[in-house]
Amino acid sequence: MKRRKRSSRWPPGPTPLPLLGNLLLLDIKNPHKSVQDLEKKFGPVFFLQIGWRNMVILSGFKMIKETLGQKPEEFIDRPSIPLMKLLKRGKNCEGIGFAQCSNGWKEQRRFFVSLLKNFTMGKKTLEERVSGEAGYLCSEFKSKEGSPFDPQNLLCRAVGNILCSLAFGDRFEYSDNTFLKLMHVIEEFLKEVTRNLPQFIDTGSWWLSLFSGPHHKLQKQYGNISIILKEMVNEHKKTRDPTFPRDLIDAFLDEMDKAKGKPDSSFNEQNLINILIDVTVAGTETSSSTLLWGLLSMVNHPEVQKRVQEEIDEQIGRVRSPMIEDQLKLPYTCAVIHEIQRYADVLPFANPYMVHRDTEIGKFVIPKETVVLLHLSSVLKDETVWEKPHEFYPEHFLDADGHFVKREAFLPFSLG
């Protein structure tokens, strides 16, 4: 990328080195801590240079709210990420999580909104699928008969099953070989994606992708996931009824039929595979990690666990499962769920944005095509907003009368 001369209103930041930029300042195993240290030195808006690419970091609730709240139209695009091209994510097949506006994002957004509406109104709603899977998970817990066990794998399988029911039309038994194979390759892929070099490539240093290294393992794991998903897509092609789509795959195949003869459409088989990977990989990791933090919080705070159980017993009982409509009757339970998400902080950074024109942020001007990264941890732990930001404190979401209050600074998955 061609370097641009910085104006006098460019944000402050550390001096970059030739070629590497500020890479050596980042602790790749804990980039969150590195960014925290830089925030203390340079303030809530500062720049980093990663390779040849300029990046601006925004932190703190006040700055992020003012920026995205007042100029949301400037932050709807994503940067081009070289790693994605190594994973067969080129033109019209970028998936959904990192797709650029000019490359199928709007088309896929409309598709997903329609899909989720159909699931809400269908024979078996998404809520019912979640509730049913919770029952299977509880049965697995009970089968341990009080013996110690690691719940992480079971939580991943439960969350994975809910996503599978959306994508593939049905859940799997926890012992199903295909399901276990899929969960295993997803786990291996997530391990590789956290290695050093792929993280560098992900930030935009295209030249690093030219060298051999861990990103080749990442490509291999991505290919392994793709093989399993392609088999499922091929099975759907044999059994689907175009008049009655069962799931995401069927609905997408219907759109592919409509898009025949349109070379610029994002409805193609490679994009279907990439979207299925986005749904299963990203959704499984964030949700299962949040549930694991929830269990840990209940163990570490038995008084909270007791109060939640008492509220559920009083308002719902133990005969049926809680439903979304019960939320108004469970203010303390809702507060605890929100506090688990805030305290767990499972997504320290939002997916990167890219401004498509010169944009003012506070007293600074961010040039066109600059990558902007939101430091969500700085919002969830903002000391100017939360009473006890570094403690597990459900009262963050309760008013003086014990009613549930949703806080503006509750942004576990970004804003907008």
3-class DSSP string for 94-148: CCCCCCCHHHCHHHHHHHHHHHHHHHHHCCCCHHHHHHHHHHHHHHHHHCCCCCC
Higher confidence at residue 96 or residue 227?
A: 227
Question: Residue 198: what pLDDT?
Answer: 45
Other CB atoms closer than 10 Å to residue 43's CB: what's the count? 15
Residue 179 has pLDDT above 80, yes or no: yes
Provide the CB-side half-sphere exposure for 128 (13 A, CA): 8
Residue 114 has pLDDT above 90, yes or no: no
Give phi and psi for 50, each to the nearest 5: -110, 105
Gyration radius of the chain's alpha carbons:
23
Q: Calculate the alpha carbon distances from 64 to 69, 188, 358, 409 in Å.
A: 8, 34, 17, 10
**Mean pLDDT in residue range 128-153:** 92
Averaged pLDDT score across all residues of the chain: 86
Q: Are the C-beta atoms of residues 293 and 344 closer than 8 Å to each other?
A: yes
296, 302, 391, 308: which is closest to 342 by C-alpha? 391
Question: Which residues are registered as beta bridge partners of 21?
Answer: 17, 50
Q: Which letter does DSSP use for residue 265 in this model? A: -
354, 361, 345: which is closest to 413 by C-alpha? 345
pLDDT-based confidence at residue 245 (cuts at 50, 70, 90): confident
- Token pair of 62 as six digits: 């006040």
Q: Calculate the alpha carbon distances from 397 to 142, 325, 386 in Å.
A: 31, 19, 10
Torsion sign, CA atoms 83, 89, 90, 92: negative
pLDDT-based confidence at residue 7 (cuts at 50, 70, 90): low
- Please state whether beta strands 364-366 and 45-50 pair in parallel, antiparallel, or not at all (unpaired): unpaired
Question: Residue 20: what pLDDT?
Answer: 79
Q: pLDDT per residue over 391-416, tens digit each? A: 999 999 999 999 999 999 998 887 65
Question: Which residues are registered as beta bridge partners of 360?
Answer: 365
Q: Which residues of 79-111 are buried (b: 16+ CB within 10 A; e: fewer)?
A: bbbbbbebbbbeebbbbbbbbbeebbbebbeeb
Residue 73 has pLDDT above 60, yes or no: yes
CA pair distance 393, 387, nearest whole angstrom? 9
In order of start, what are the domains of the chain with their CATH numbers? 97-300 (1.10.630.10)
Q: Which letter does DSSP use for residue 404 in this model? A: B
pLDDT-based confidence at residue 281 (cuts at 50, 70, 90): confident
Question: Which residues are registered as beta bridge partners of 359?
Answer: 366
**Mean pLDDT in residue range 111-122:** 75
Higher confidence at residue 101 or residue 222?
A: 222
Residue 207 has pLDDT above 60, yes or no: no
Question: Residue 337: what pLDDT?
Answer: 97
pLDDT-based confidence at residue 53 (cuts at 50, 70, 90): confident
**Mean pLDDT in residue range 143-156:** 92
Question: Residue 1: what pLDDT?
Answer: 44
Other CB atoms closer than 10 Å to residue 66's CB: what's the count? 15
Other CB atoms closer than 10 Å to residue 285's CB: what's the count? 20
Q: pLDDT per residue over 18-34, tens digit each? A: 877 887 888 777 777 88
Residue 83 has pLDDT above 90, yes or no: no
Residue 361 has pLDDT above 50, yes or no: yes
- How far is residue 337 CA from its own chain's centroid? 18
Q: pLDDT per residue over 327-351, tens digit each? A: 999 999 999 999 999 999 988 888 8
Question: Residue 211: what pLDDT?
Answer: 57
Q: Are the C-beta atoms of residues 32 and 374 closer than 8 Å to each other?
A: no
Q: Where are the alpha helices (DSSP H) in 152-268?
A: 152-168, 177-193, 196-202, 214-239, 248-258
CA pair distance 378, 64, nearest whole angstrom? 10
Q: pLDDT per residue over 191-204, tens digit each? A: 777 665 445 555 55
